[in-house]
Amino acid sequence: MTSESPPDCDVFVLGGGPGGSTIAALLAERGWNVVIVEKERHPRFHIGESLLPLNMLLLKELGVYEEAKRIGMPKYGAEFNSPEHGPPVTFDFSQSWDKTYPNALEVRRSEFDELLFRNCGAKGAQTFEDCRVANVEFAPGEPVRIDARMGDGSQRCWRARFFVDASGRDTFLANRFGIKRRNRAHNSAAIYGHFTGAQRLPGKQAGNISIFWFDHGWFWFIPLLDGTTSVGAVCWPYYMKSRKTDPTTFFFDTIAMAPKLAERLLDAKLTHGVTATGNFSYEARHMHGDRYIMIGDAFAFVDPVFSSGVMLAMNSAFLGADAVEASLRNTAQAPAMLRKFDRSVRAGISGFSWFIYRMNHPSIRDMFMGPSNMLRMQEAVLSLLAGDLFRGTPIHWSLRAFKAVYYFLNLTHPRRSFAAWRHRRRALGGEFAESQGS
């Protein structure tokens, strides 16, 4: 193809997960020629099964809400369990600041991701599966060149006007540009598996996510519609480095450290193997540049504790679609739209991060296990847990009040706070630095 040849597409999207499929659907529906490629073939396994209530708004805008409901388990709240406190505490989404979206869904990601991928194809995007991108070139004055290998071994080349990196934890462009960096404010690793026969909460709460704190981090317990339950531990990396046994034995030994969770799994059976992952927390130095943007986990990921990953990925796709369209039209607003995209994505990550960084602190546990709606703090925290950070819901002053109470509790328990600070510092650097990875 010569430099005068027209591009094969307007937008090339790398990654067929929630973020990639969402932006492909939005841009194709607006009339742009979109190509989206996925390295595997749907349905494929993926962790991260818990959605947030504000995901429901995005699913409705994509036109797939009813289909998602058919494959999802209704989730009305989140249950928190702490070994240092009394009975569990449940945060009910219906008590958040804005009561419009009182529930979310727990979904098998293989089914959910395929639903979104097929939807973007139905909207007009050209979809390719079992396709691995090997190289991308941003030559000045030329369309973006993408080289890929298909599942049958054949080579494929595309030329595009714009490139969207939705490659998830593969972080394709961040790795290529050498701009991926470890999040020095947080780091975690995870080990997880799926069970049948786990004891769920009764009645309407059966689909609620449960969180269990233990000495080295926290567990998730996510019920799925087919009777399977996703269970995983998110830990400091030094704890994962302490493993002396096989992953399955280590996983069950870790579960035993959370007695309330162990009771729920007493008659449960592990369905497949156990998976361990590391270097959970990272970000790229920037998320957009000459003819490209990064969305979702391709730019940054912090921690799964509030089930924010799918919500942030899909929301960044909605924001990114406007920025990409402005860039394609070469309008004067394009730089401003890209800056808005950047600012909004970072604000969403930051909104969750303050709580994530402190999730294992005893003062946060006290506040979550003894919630107060003074100054509407509980409603504001529930709104954050629901993903309501992008619509202008006036929760920020109440969240500031919550943070002020947190700092006050630290001052009233200086020894405990110092011990927690010292442990965190050791975990992030210092004595445990060798377990951080790159």
Domains for the chain: give ranges and CATH numbers: 9-49+108-182+282-350 (3.50.50.60), 358-435 (no CATH)
Tokens found for residue 361: 């602190």
Q: pLDDT averaged over consecutive 10-residue blocks of the chain (438 residues)?
A: 66 98 98 98 95 97 98 97 96 95 97 98 98 97 96 96 97 97 88 97 97 96 97 91 93 97 98 84 95 97 91 97 96 93 96 94 96 96 95 96 97 95 80 35
Q: What is the pLDDT of residue 279?
A: 63
Do 236 and 302 touch, CB atoms closer than 8 A?
no
CA 18 vs CA 25, 160, 277, 298, 356: distances in Å = 11, 21, 20, 12, 22
Which stretches of 26-125 are assigned E, i.e. beta strand?
34-37, 72-75, 77-81, 89-92, 104-107
Q: What is the pLDDT of residue 6?
A: 62
- For residue 188, the SS3 value is coil
- For residue 79, the SS3 value is strand
Do 48 and 168 touch, CB atoms closer than 8 A?
no
